Amino acid sequence: MVLKVDIKKNIDNRMINKKFELDNDILIFYGASGSGKTTILNCIAGLKNPDSGFIELKGNTYFSSESNVNIPPFKRKIGYIFQDYALFPHLNVLDNIKYSKKNTKYDEDNLEKIINKCHVKHLIKRYPNTLSGGEKQRVALARALMIEPDLLLLDEPLSSVDNEMKIKLMREIKNIQKEWKIPFIYVTHSKNEARFLGNKLLSFNSNKEVEINEYKENIS
Amino acid sequence: MKHSIFKYIMISIFIIFAVFIVVVLISPTLYIKTSNLINLLINNQEITFSLILSLTTSLSAVFMATIFGVPVAYVLSRYDFKFKNIIDIILDIPLVLPPIILGLSLLVLLGPIGGNYLAKIGLNFVFTRLGIVMAQFVVCAPLLIRSLKIAFSSIDPKLEKAAMTLGDNHFQVFKNITIPLSKDGIITGVTTAWARAMGEFGATVMLAGATRFKTETLPIAVYLNMNTGNLEMAVTVSIVMIVFSILIMGILKIYNNNQKRGVTQWF
């Protein structure tokens, strides 16, 4: 397995316990708002610390409460597409995409490939405030792919695009995952998105105080 | 009809107030002849001394305020900790406290209480230029911190988190994201703090005293000349300060207007 996660995190006096393993597939984090999906995503990215447990990616331990390991987010090689995309407003699209390589040499061909793959070539001189939801999503995807991630996290990336664009972008996300052959974790509370995209699903819906993981191979 | 009466009342009050402020600002120039004013500005060493002293001390004070103010404002806008609200209020108190009280507190602290210890390491604040810098620093730093706090708080923390996932450590995030996105607030804060430091009088006179050609900043020059009945000289120094303030506020306004035009590119 590429990704192994077994963590506990207390959110507003509710203990969330998530245990799962993932190969090069798309795993859906499915659940209502406030169920802890984004918090667990942030724990995997290193932006929040789990209370206990471990996170392993490609054989590297990123977090382990037992061995006191906690790799900071900037060393994790985990791409993250935030809800609302978090594009840097003071940089144009090209500088946003190249952000992770601003101090290092990078492969121009790879940049070109990612720009073409995400269909953002015509946008590179524009600023984020001039982009539509779909365009922002593509730029955020290109920016995340530039770090050549071992895992990609997508936090409700299609919440602000219309239905027609949603289908198109979901197809693109699926294609990119197949091409890059890395695990994707996709957060959503939409059944349609979950059904369309996910190979696997981890439900966050539970009224119990200590949540029991539901890990399905297929969405029923 | 009702709307036009409302508009008429509002605009009338606006005009009365604006005219009043303009008259207050230009009134010193009505008192002195232009030839005397020019003569004093060119030939009077006291004005030159006061201007240079005010500029050097205020710039030093603002530099110190920035060094301390940036981290303080960042901590207040980004981290949660016990007694945060109380500390926040305490840090704002110098804004509402009469500067003369701040000066007295500084005088007691840096004189009778800590003066001997500080003297051993070569720091003498009482009745010295260093005292002027300290007084200006204490008065202008809270103003700068308030402006920076608003600027830092207006940045979406997700942008900083995104930069981290893209390989930036905390220092790089601060340099590449936080500072550029709060640039306008920083410039506004630094400029207004500088103007405040230039005009500082109460705390300065308590800690550094009012000695001619020693601790004579521009406001102290006005005070000393008024005390000796040299109204023409006091008026001339006042005009220098009014012109300085107009220049500072004018430059800031032009900068902000230009930024607004440019900023629409990305906001």
Q: Choose, out of A81, A82, A139, A159, the residue to mutate when testing the contact with B (most B CBs < 10 Å).
A: A82
Answer whether A17's CB lies under 8 Å from A213's CB.
yes
The predicted structure's pLDDT at residue B264: 45
Rounded to a whole number of angstroms, the distance from the CA of A83 to the nearest CA of chain B is 9
CA–CA distance, B198 with B140 (Å, rounded to integer) = 9
Q: Which residues contact B13 (CB under 8 A, 6 or more apart)?
A: none
Q: What is the pTM of this model?
A: 0.84
Q: Which helix (H) or strand (E) holds B183?
A: helix B183-198
Structure tokens at A83: 């809800």
Q: Is B261's Cβ below 8 Å from some Cβ in A? A: no
Structure tokens at A20: 């799962």
Rounded to a whole number of angstroms, the distance from the CA of B158 to the nearest CA of chain A is 6
The pLDDT confidence band at residue A1, using thresholds 50, 70 and 90, is confident
Which of B237, B226, B239, B215 minimizes the C-alpha distance to B56?
Answer: B215
Q: Is B166's Cβ below 8 Å from some Cβ in A? A: yes
Whether B266 sits inside 8 A of A80 (CB atoms) is: no
The A-side interface with B (CB below 8 A) comprises 42, 45-47, 72-74, 76, 78-80, 82, 84, 86, 88-91, 99-100, 102, 127-129, 143-144, 146-147
pLDDT digits (tens, 9 = 90+) for B114-140: 888 998 998 999 999 999 999 999 999
Residues of B whose CB is below 8 A from A99:
163, 166
Residues of B whose CB is below 8 A from A62:
none
Whether A86 sits inside 8 A of B166 (CB atoms) is: no
Task: Name the residue type at position A184.
Answer: F
CA–CA distance, B219 with A189 (Å, rounded to integer) = 64
The predicted structure's pLDDT at residue B1: 58
The predicted structure's pLDDT at residue A198: 80
Q: Left (φ > 0), alpha (ψ -120 to 50) or beta: where does A31 sit?
A: left
The predicted structure's pLDDT at residue A164: 82
A-contacting residues of B 167-196, CB under 8 Å? 167-169, 172, 176-177, 180-181
Answer whether B65's CB lies under 8 Å from B95's CB.
no
Residues of B whose CB is below 8 A from A74:
164-169, 172
Q: What percent of chain B has pLDDT over 90?
A: 81
Rounded to a whole number of angstroms, the distance from the CA of A177 to the nearest CA of chain B is 19
The predicted structure's pLDDT at residue A199: 79
Answer whether A182's CB lies under 8 Å from A2's CB.
yes
The pLDDT confidence band at residue B267, using thresholds 50, 70 and 90, is very low
Whether B158 sits inside 8 A of A100 (CB atoms) is: no
Which of A80, A81, A88 minimizes the C-alpha distance to A128?
Answer: A88
Q: Cβ atoms within 10 A of the Cβ of A74, count?
A: 19
Answer whether B53's CB lies under 8 Å from B237's CB.
no
Residues of B whose CB is below 8 A from A84:
158
- Give the 3-state secondary structure of residue A33: coil
Structure tokens at A172: 């693109």
Whether B158 sits inside 8 A of A82 (CB atoms) is: yes
**DSSP secondary structure letter of residue B126:** T
Identify the closest residue of chain A to B181 by CA–CA distance: A90
Q: Which residues contact B10 (CB under 8 A, 6 or more apart)?
A: none
- Give the residue-averaged pLDDT of B49-76: 96
User: What is the phi/psi pair of residue A155, to 5°?
Assistant: -100, 100
A74, A89, A91 member nearest B167 (Cβ): A74
pLDDT digits (tens, 9 = 90+) for B5-17: 999 999 999 999 9
- Give the residue-averaged pLDDT of B40-64: 94
The pLDDT confidence band at residue A206, using thresholds 50, 70 and 90, is low
pLDDT digits (tens, 9 = 90+) for A130-171: 999 889 999 999 999 999 999 999 999 988 788 888 888 899
Whether B159 sits inside 8 A of A79 (CB atoms) is: no
Answer whether A100's CB lies under 8 Å from A143's CB.
yes
Q: Say if strands A26-30 and A200-203 run parallel, antiparallel, or are unpaired.
A: parallel
The pLDDT confidence band at residue B149, using thresholds 50, 70 and 90, is very high
Answer whether A58's CB lies under 8 Å from A1's CB.
no
Q: Which residues contact B209 (CB under 8 A, 6 or more apart)?
A: B126, B127, B131, B215
- pLDDT over 90 (residue B105): yes
Q: Is B33's Cβ below 8 Å from some Cβ in A? A: no
CA–CA distance, B199 with B218 (Å, rounded to integer) = 7
Rounded to a whole number of angstroms, the distance from the CA of B82 to the nearest CA of chain A is 18
- Give the 3-state secondary structure of residue B123: coil
* Residue whose token pair is 């101090």: A103
CA–CA distance, B120 with A81 (Å, rounded to integer) = 57
CA–CA distance, B200 with B131 (Å, rounded to integer) = 12
Residues of A whose CB is below 8 A from B161:
42, 45, 47, 73, 80, 82, 86
The predicted structure's pLDDT at residue B261: 67
Whether B181 sits inside 8 A of A89 (CB atoms) is: yes
User: What is the phi/psi pair of residue B112, to 5°?
Assistant: -60, -40
CA–CA distance, B3 with B9 (Å, rounded to integer) = 10
CA angle B223, B224, B227 (to 5 degrees): 85
The predicted structure's pLDDT at residue A194: 87
